[in-house]
Structure formats: C-alpha cells, structure tokens
Amino acid sequence: MLPLDVAKVRADLPVLAIPVRGHLPAYLDCACTTLTPEPVIQAVAAHLRSIPGCHGRANHRFGREATIAYAAARETVRTFVGAARAEDVIFVRNATEAIHLVAAGLPLKAGDAVLTTGIEHNSNLLPWLGLARSRGVRCLVHRVDIARGFDLDAFRRDLVDGVRLVAVTHVSNLCGIELPISEIVALAHRKGAKVLVDGAQAALCHDPAVADQGIDFYAMSFHKVMGPTGIGALVAGRGALDLLEPTVLGGDTVVDVRPDGFDMAAAPARFEAGVGNYGGAAGAKAAAEYVTSLGREAIRRHAVGLNRLATEALAPLRRFRLVGPLDPEARGSILNFRIDGLDSRRLAGLLDEREGVMVRYGKHCVHLWYHDEGCPDTLRASFGPWNTADEVERFTRAVADVAIMLE
Ligand code: PLP
C-alpha cells in the first residue's frame, strides 16, 4: 500500500496555507467535520453553474442532465459503501436525518425494544429515546468498557427477546474504537433483529461493505468524508427499505394522487420528498472519489501514525487522563483526553489563540457516557489526511506549555 500523499492533500486545501495571528492553522478536528478539498468544491460549483435543473420531472436539457448527475452520484455512493443497488441509497441531509428516517419509518410499537450502546453519539440515541417517549418502545443500552474493548458475550446477553433493532456506531467519535460489525449483525439477525450502523465517524477510513456484511441500514454524512455539509445518505441492505414507511410526503414521492388517496413511488423517490440537494450530491460524488483515490486504509494508517506521536508525547504529562485504550491502533484518528484539574474549554481556547491549534472540547455529543462515568469535559484531537507530524508537535508542545502555565 502506498503511503498517503499528504502534500497533495494540503495543496488541495489552500485554507491551511493562510496564517492567522502569525500561525498557520493546525486543524485537528477531523472527527467533527473534515476539510473540503478543491476538487470537491469545484464539483459543487460546476454542478450549480452548468446543471441548474431539477431531477426526475422535466424533459428539457437541464432537467435531463440533473437527473443523470443525481443518478451518477447515487451510483458512486453505492460503490463507496458497498451496497447492492443504487435504489437502496437515499440522499438525506446528514447521518442524523438518516437515523431518524429509520426511527420514524420502522413499525416499532410499545413493548418492542431497540438495543443501542452507551457510547453512541446523541444522534444515534435520541431518536430511540424519542420513540420510548412517543410510542413506549423500550430503549436498551449496552454499556461498553472502552478501555477493554467491545465484549461480544456481554452484548449477546443484552440482546434480549423483543429487540427489533440494534443501532450501533461503526467507529466511536468518543474514543475511536471500532465495533465488530459483522459479528453484531450475525448475533442480531439470529435473534430476528435488524441492524442500523451509524457510519458517520467510520466512513472516511472504513468500507462498511453494506451488502457483504448484511447491514440493514447504514447512516452517513458527507461532511465527514471531505464532502460538503448538508448532504448524507441512508443506505439500505436488500429489502430493508420495504420495512420503512415514508414519513415526509411531497413532490416526487408519489406516482399518482387522487382525492381519496395516492400511490407511492418506488424507492429511492418515495423517501426523497421535494427538490434535492443536487450540488451537494455532486460534492458527495467528488468526495467519495477523492477519498477512494487517496485510499481509506492509507488515511487510517496516517491518522494512527500521528495519533501515536501525539499519545507518546502527552501520556507522560502529569495528570494526563486518556479516554479509551492506550494503543493508538485501537483508537484510529482520535485522541480524547483531559489534564486533571484543568478546564478543557479554556485549554482548547488557549491552544487556538496561542498556536492556531484547533481541537474540540466538551462531551462530544456522547453525554450518556460522560454521565455514566462522571467524567468532566475533555479535549479531543482527531487527525485527518491533511495533518502533519509538525502540527502534532506544535499541538503536544502547546498542551504541555499551557498545562504548566495553568497549574
Ligand atoms: N454519529 C457519529 C458517530 C458522529 O460522530 C456524528 C457527528 O459527529 C454523528 C453521528 C452526527 O453526524 P451529523 O451531525 O453529520 O448528522
């Protein structure tokens, strides 16, 4: 496998070459949102400039071209995540919306259960807590010991009768650990439950192989894979969309409407009400192609290498507390930590002000885990394909300096 061409990636991200207050930006917040490279920006702009039509409903040139471009984007996404058919790719705004499409559309009733984990992003927990409130669906939570890794036996015990859906993250945005998706799918299917995988954090470095792994629903956002914001996908396994009742009806979701009823269109149209985000879809296509050309495994290896450098530099600091396993290989691109006694928000602000180093602080939308552990807010650095060893050095030196200054 060729190493990642970081110089090329940086050349495609001119924002990284603009100094602010004497510092080049060191953007270590890949897990929140990735940077968008020039080829993706150009694809969005080219689409908006030259194909101003609406897909699927006009037999004029702009309309036909828009239809062709949308279908091409859908096909590229299908390949990117290994789905069986392009019709199983539904364009949505983001992973959150994709998960909600499943939560609202599955015929879950009072007493049915959804099994999720204690390390989910709020976007893959609140929809189930919402169903508990509105329909009396039971939301069961499998607790994960992140330092030790995912325990399939314990998970099997939590997969009790009545679980209709298992909703788990592929890669944790809390600590970067990867969940054993094929094993989870096998266990869930044996119990007759469907599986939703939240791929938001994983899609940049992992091919989920939706069809091969038997995943029923896969949710993703393109802003996490170097694409634009405002476009994501719900990707379904074979036959899974038949289980969903569309909840937003409107233009393009029907083939006929009468005073006394209507006939729904086939998927994907029945789930894509209204005019779509065509520029976003063009950007999603370009992003999937860009990431594929870099190589997802090469991106992962690069991130782990930088994570190792950062971990080795920070772990010896007094009162350094890591979230997750010590080995960076198990944490992918994420280094989540705190310096005991120091305010993470203040630390994050100082890193940016003094060094132009951007990391995230807080509970990272995984409130449940922070509550369970009684853990204060943490700092999360995450490493993308544009980051360099130099930036990691600036980051770790700045953390050490600020930690001493604040003592
Ligand atoms: N799931 C995970 C694991 C995430 O990391 C995120 C975003 O941080 C989301 C879901 C939500 O993604 P979006 O805000 O793009 O819907």
Nearest to 31 by CA among 341, 343, 325, 366: 366
- Is residue 380 in contact with ligand 1, taking CB distance under 6 Å? no
Q: Which of 236, 261, 293 is the last residue of a domain?
A: 293
Q: Is pLDDT above 80 for 406?
A: no
pLDDT at 252: 87
Least confident interval from 282-296, 307-321, 392-406:
392-406
Assess whether 52 and 148 both reside in one domain.
yes
d(CA 190, CA 380): 37
Q: In what order do the strands lie in the sheet with 194-198?
A: 89-92, 232-236, 217-221, 194-198, 163-169, 113-117, 138-142
Q: How long is the chain?
A: 407
- Is residue 336 in contact with ligand 1, taking CB distance under 6 Å? no
pLDDT band at 404 (very low <50, low <70, confident <90, very high): confident
pLDDT at 43: 98
pLDDT band at 206 (very low <50, low <70, confident <90, very high): very high
Q: How far is the CA of 156 from the centre of ligand 1 (A)?
A: 26
* Domain ranges, residue 122: 40-293
Q: Which of 277, 293, 309 is the last residue of a domain?
A: 293
d(CA 34, CA 28): 9
pLDDT at 295: 97
Q: Is pLDDT above 80 for 183?
A: yes
Residues 6+ apart with CB under 8 A from 135: 108, 109, 110
Neighbouring C-beta atoms of residue 341, cutoff 10 Å: 11
Ligand 1 pocket, mutate which of 168, 177, 201 (most atoms under 8 A from CB): 201
CB 175 within 8 Å of CB 119: yes
CATH number of the CATH domain containing 161: 3.40.640.10
Cis peptide before 228 (omega within 30 of 0): no
Q: How far is the CA of 201 from the centre of ligand 1 (A)?
A: 7
Assess whether 20 and 44 both reside in one domain.
no
Instruction: Work out the angle at residue 44's Cα, subtended by the Cα atoms of residues 42 and 47, and round it to the nearest 5 degrees.
Output: 105
- CA separation (Å) from 150 to 154, 165, 275, 326, 339? 9, 19, 41, 15, 26
Q: How far is the CA of 50 from the centre of ligand 1 (A)?
A: 31
Residue at 257 is within a domain: yes
Neighbouring C-beta atoms of residue 397, cutoff 10 Å: 13
Q: Is pLDDT above 80 for 37?
A: yes
Global pTM value: 0.97
Sign of the alpha-carbon dihedral angle for 152, 154, 156, 162? negative
Per the prediction, the chain carries an average pLDDT of 96
Virtual CA dihedral for 93, 114, 82, 87, nearest 10 degrees?
Answer: -60
Atom of ligand 1 nearest to the CA of 94: 16
Catalytic residue among 32, 139, 205, 365: 365
pLDDT at 1: 72
Assess whether 225 and 337 both reside in one domain.
no
Q: Is pLDDT above 90 for 176?
A: yes
30 among known catalytic residues: no
What average pLDDT score do residues 120-145 get? 98
Residues 6+ apart with CB under 8 A from 313: 392, 393, 396, 397, 400
pLDDT band at 396 (very low <50, low <70, confident <90, very high): very high
Assess whether 331 and 341 both reside in one domain.
yes
Alpha-helical segments (H) within 16-60: 38-50
Q: Give the pair of three-digit tokens for residue 190.
A: 């044996």
Residue at 35 is within a domain: no
What average pLDDT score do residues 99-119 get? 98
Q: Is pLDDT above 90 for 401?
A: yes
pLDDT at 309: 98
Nearest to 63 by CA among 233, 278, 324: 278
Least confident interval from 19-23, 297-301, 375-379:
19-23
Atom of ligand 1 nearest to the CA of 32: 8
- CA separation (Å) from 58 to 52, 71, 123, 209, 387? 12, 15, 36, 34, 45
Q: Give the pair of three-digit tokens for residue 125.
A: 């927990």
Assess whether 243 and 317 both reside in one domain.
no
Atom of ligand 1 nearest to the CA of 229: 15
Overall domain count for the chain: 2
d(CA 18, CA 6): 17
pLDDT at 242: 97
pLDDT digits (tens, 9 = 90+) for 236-290: 999 999 999 999 999 889 999 999 999 999 999 999 999 999 999 999 999 999 9
- Residue 168 parent element (H or E): strand 163-169
- Is residue 333 in contact with ligand 1, taking CB distance under 6 Å? no
Assess whether 251 and 314 both reside in one domain.
no
CB 220 within 8 Å of CB 200: yes
Q: Which of 231, 262, 293 is the last residue of a domain?
A: 293
What average pLDDT score do residues 9-14 get? 97
Residue 167 is which amino acid?
Answer: A
pLDDT at 2: 75
Residues 6+ apart with CB under 8 A from 62: 51, 52, 53
